[in-house]
Structure 1
Amino acid sequence: MNFKAITKTVIAAVSAGAMLLPLAACGSDADAGKTKISFLSWDNEQVMKPFIEEFEKENPDVAIDFSYAPPTAEYIQTLQTRLVGNQAPDVFIITSENKNDLIDNGYVMDMTGKSYTEKLSQANKDFVSRDGKLYGQSISSWAAGIAYNKELLKQVGYDAVPSTWDEFLTLCKTLKDAGISPYIEAIGDGADRIPDSFTGAILAKQGIDVTTLASEDPQTPGEHEKEAVKAWMKVYEQGYASRDNVGVSGDDAKTQFTNGQVAMYTTGAWDFSTFEQVSFDWGFAQIPAMDKNHEQYAQGSPSPGLAIYSKLSGDKLKAAEKFLDFMVSDWSLKQRSKNGDAITVEGFTSDVAEQYKDVYENNVKTGKYFLITNFYANPDVLNSTNTAEIQQLVQGTITVDQWAKNIDAKMAAAQ
C-alpha cells in the first residue's frame, strides 16, 4: 500500500483519533509521575488488557496508553494518519502491508541485536527485516496444511496424505477412480496455497534471501513462482480438482469437506473448531513437497510484529523496550499460546491441537513456510492481481507463462 496515496485520502477522511478505542483505565490520576508510553494495537481491549495489566503490575513506574484500530486497512490508515500528523504512537504494529512504507519513511527503530529479539525464529525476523536490519518483534506464525477425511482415504488404502506432490496426485487418481471427489481449494477467495509452499522450498534450495525480494528492480514474483504454479496446475489439468473452484469460497470448501463430499481441503488451523463438530475422523497433514529434491514447505506467515517509533529517546524508549522484553517473557508467551497463537520463540512450545502438531513442529517452528505477498513491495497490488490472474489460470483461459507475465507487468507498473 503506497504511503503517499494513503495519506492523501486518509487525512481528509479520518482525524488522528477517530478510529481509536482507548483502554478506559489509562490516563487516570493514578498514572501521575509514571513514564507513559502509547501503544496502538490491532488486537482489541479484551485480548490486550491482561498483558497491559500484568506489565504495569511488574513495572509500576510505567503506564501504557492503549488504543485500538481493527486490522488491516483501518489499522494501517489510522497509524499512517497519526504518523504524518505528528501523533505517532510509541509502540505499534508492523506487518506486510505497511512495513516497506514504515521503513522507507524512517518511522521504525532498528532493533537488531536487542534482548527482546534474540530468541525469535529466523523466519519471523526475516519477515520484518530489510538490508540486514530488524524492525519488528514477531513471536508467532501460522502455516496451512491439508485437512483430510481419514475414512475416505482408508477406503482406497491410504492412512495419510503422501509427502510428495506426484504421490499426492496418485492418491487423487485413486480416490477419483473410486468415485470419491479428491480435493478442493477456495480459489474464489484467491486461496491458491500450494504454489507458495512450493516456491518457499525452491527459494530455499536456491539460497535466495527472501528479504532482498522487495529491493529487486524490477520485481518479478510471477517469474519466481512460475515453476511452482506449473507443478500445482497438474491437479486441475489431470481433473482431480474442479475448475469450478474459481467460484468456491472458503466457507463453501469447508462445508463440502465437513459434509463428507470431498476427501481433502487445503486450509489452516482457523477451521479446526468447525472440524471438531464433524461425524468422521479427520487429520491435518503437511503440504506435500513439490518433488523429492525439495523440502516440505507450507504456505504460511509470521504474525505481525511490534515496532518502536524511531524518534523515541530517554525514559520513553526505555519503557517501550521494557514492554517488548515483557512480550517475550514466559508469562506473555503462555498467555499468547492460551489465546491460540502458535509461538515460534526459541525455548517455548505451544500446546497446539493434536492434528496440528506435525505442521507446527515441521513448518511453523522451523520457519519452513512462505507467503509471496510478504516479501515484495506493493503487496496489495500483488494480492489483488494474483487473485484475478489465478482465477483465469484455473479456468484455463490463460497459460502459466501468461499468468507470470501478467503478474510481473502489474508489479512493474506499480513501482
Structure 2
Amino acid sequence: MNLTKRIKQIIAAAAAASILLPLAACGSSSDSGKTKISFLSWDNEQIMQPFIEEFEKGNPDISIDFSYAPPTAEYIQTLQTRLVGNQAPDVFIITSENKDDLIDNGYVLDMTGKSYTEKLSQANMDFVSRDGKLYGQSTSSWAAGIAYNKELLQQVGYDTVPSTWDEFLDLCKKLQDAGISPYIEAIGDGADRIPDSFTGAILAKQGIGVTTLASENPQTPGEHEKEGIAAWMKVYEQGYASRDNVGVSGDDAKSQFASGQVAMYTTGAWDFSSFEQAGFDWGFAPIPALDSDHEQYAQGPPSPGLAIYSKLTGDKLTAAEKFLDFMVSDWALNQRSNNGDAVTVEGFTSDVSEQYKDVYENNVKTGKYFLMTNFYSNPDVLISTNTAEIQQLVQGSIAVDQWANNVDAKMASAQ
C-alpha cells in the first residue's frame, strides 16, 4: 500500500510529530543567517549529538535542526506523517520497511554517483537501490554466525565449527553421541538465520541480483529460499536440534548456551557481552557454507541509510549533501565504529572483538550476507508470514514445499 492510500491512517498518528525532541540549541538567535537543515533520526540525541557538533564546528554557516523518533514503527509513521503533511525533514532514514514507499512516491533524492557514496560497499548500495539508482547512504552492516562452547567441542575433537553444512551435521552427531546437546535456535522469535545464509549463496551462484527481487511479479521469496530451507531442516529431521525450539526465545537460547546446556547457538554480536559475563570459553564462527559448490554467506543486512528529501534545492541541498559527505569522513566513521557499528566503507576497518573478526572480515566487509526480508516489497507481511510458517515447519506440521507455497501465496495477496 503506498503513502497516498494510507493518509487517513497516518493523520490519526499526527500527534507523534508533536513529541519529537529537538536539540536544545536549535532555533536559537545564534543560528541567524545560517542555512538550517532538518534531520529526523531514529538514533537518539545522545548518539547523534557528537556528530552534529563536529559537523557544525567545521561548517559554521550550517545548523542542524535535529529530531528523534524511536525505531521502527513509530519512526516510520512519524516520517510518513511529516511527508504527507508537507513538513518533510531534509535528511532522514531509509530502510527496508519504508524504502519502497519513499522511492515509489518520489520522496528521496537519487544520489547515484555523488561524492558521499563513492566509498560505500556494493552490498550497502544494493540495499537502498532500485533500477540502478541509489537512494541512501548506508555505511555499516551486521552478520550472524554460530557461537560455540570451546570446551564442549573439544570433547569430541573439534576446535571450531566446520566450514560446510554436512560437516556441521557430522559434528552435531558426534556431540549428541557424547551426550551433549548440539544446537539451539530462537525459533520462538522467528530467528531462522541459516536459511538466509544459504539463499544468499544460492542467488549469487545463479547470478540473481538481489535488487531485482522486489520488482518480480509475482514476488516469490518462498521459491527462492526453498533449497536453503530444505538443507537447514536436516538439523531438525536428524534430531540434532529440538522441535521444541518453536517456543524458545532469544533470551532462552542465549541463557541455555551461556550456561553450558548446549554446544552451539546461531546469533550475533549483540549477545557477546552476555557470553563474556558468563565467564566460559566461547568462540564465534561463520555459518557453514551450504556445500563446497557454494560460497560461504551469512545472514545479515546493511544498516539503514541516510536519505535526502528529493525536493531540496539551492543552499539547503548543498548543506544536506555536505552533511552526508561529513558522515563518511574518517571522524564520523571512527565515531560510528566506537559506538559499536561494524563499518563497511572502503578503506576503513572497524576495531571489532577478537571473536567477531572472522565474520567481520569474510562476511560483513565483503557483503557476503543476505536477509530475505530486505529485498521484497511488503517486508512486514513477509516477516510475520515467515515467522508463522517456519514455526509450523519446525514443528513438523507442514513440509518445505508447503512452507514455500504458503509464503508466496501470502505475498501475492499483499500486492
TM-score under structure 2 length normalisation? 0.99
* 2:35 paired with 1:28: no
- Kindly indicate whether the alpha-carbon contact (under 8 Å) linking 2:13 and 2:78 is maintained by their aligned counterparts in 1: no
Q: Give every structure 1 segment of 4 or more consecutive aligned residues whose post-TM-superposition deviation is greater than 4 Å.
A: none
SS in 1 for 2:377: coil
Deviation per CA, 1:76-103: give whole Å up to 9, x if none: 0000000000000000000000000000
SS in 2 for 1:43: coil
- What is the CA distance between 1:16 and its match in structure 2? 6.3
Match of residue 152 from structure 1: 152
- Kindly indicate whether the alpha-carbon contact (under 8 Å) linking 2:42 and 2:93 is maintained by their aligned counterparts in 1: yes
- What is the CA distance between 1:135 and its match in structure 2? 0.1
SS in 2 for 1:352: coil
Given the superposition, is the C-alpha separation of residues 5 and 286 from structure 1 closer, same or farther in structure 2, using an over 3 Å criterion? farther
- Kindly indicate whether the alpha-carbon contact (under 8 Å) linking 1:202 and 1:294 is maintained by their aligned counterparts in 2: yes
Equivalent-residue separation in structure 1 for 2:149 and 2:5 (angstroms): 46
Match of residue 250 from structure 1: 250
Equivalent-residue separation in structure 2 for 1:2 and 1:191 (angstroms): 28
Task: Name the amino acid aligned to 2:316.
Answer: K
Equivalent-residue separation in structure 2 for 1:92 and 1:327 (angstroms): 13
Equivalent-residue separation in structure 2 for 1:338 and 1:100 (angstroms): 31
Aligned length: 415
Match of residue 390 from structure 2: 390
- Kindly indicate whether the alpha-carbon contact (under 8 Å) linking 1:22 and 1:68 is maintained by their aligned counterparts in 2: yes
- Give the RMSD, CA atoms, in angstroms: 0.9
* 2:85 paired with 1:112: no
Which residues of 2 match residues 62-211 of structure 1 at below 5 A? 62-211=62-211
- What is the CA distance between 1:15 and its match in structure 2? 3.1
Given the superposition, is the C-alpha separation of residues 144 and 6 from structure 1 closer, same or farther in structure 2, using an over 3 Å criterion? farther
TM-score under structure 1 length normalisation? 0.99
Unaligned runs of 5+ residues in structure 2 are: none
Match of residue 55 from structure 2: 55
Equivalent-residue separation in structure 2 for 1:83 and 1:16 (angstroms): 13
Match of residue 283 from structure 1: 283
- Kindly indicate whether the alpha-carbon contact (under 8 Å) linking 1:19 and 1:78 is maintained by their aligned counterparts in 2: no
- Kindly indicate whether the alpha-carbon contact (under 8 Å) linking 1:373 and 1:379 is maintained by their aligned counterparts in 2: yes
Deviation per CA, 1:208-230: give whole Å up to 9, x if none: 11101100000000000000000
Match of residue 335 from structure 2: 335
- What is the CA distance between 1:194 and its match in structure 2? 0.3
SS in 2 for 1:67: strand
Given the superposition, is the C-alpha separation of residues 151 and 4 from structure 1 closer, same or farther in structure 2, using an over 3 Å criterion? farther
Given the superposition, is the C-alpha separation of residues 202 and 61 from structure 1 closer, same or farther in structure 2, using an over 3 Å criterion? same
- Kindly indicate whether the alpha-carbon contact (under 8 Å) linking 1:176 and 1:240 is maintained by their aligned counterparts in 2: yes
Task: Name the amino acid aligned to 1:79.
Answer: L
Farther-moved stretch of structure 1 (20-29 vs 343-352): 20-29
Equivalent-residue separation in structure 2 for 1:384 and 1:397 (angstroms): 18
Task: Name the amino acid aligned to 1:358.
Answer: D
Which residues of 2 match residues 227-306 of structure 1 at below 5 A? 227-306=227-306
Unaligned runs of 5+ residues in structure 1 are: none
- Kindly indicate whether the alpha-carbon contact (under 8 Å) linking 1:2 and 1:378 is maintained by their aligned counterparts in 2: no
Task: Name the amino acid aligned to 2:377.
Answer: A
Deviation per CA, 1:175-212: give whole Å up to 9, x if none: 00000000000000000000000000000011111101
- What is the CA distance between 1:138 and its match in structure 2? 0.1
Task: Name the amino acid aligned to 1:34.
Answer: K
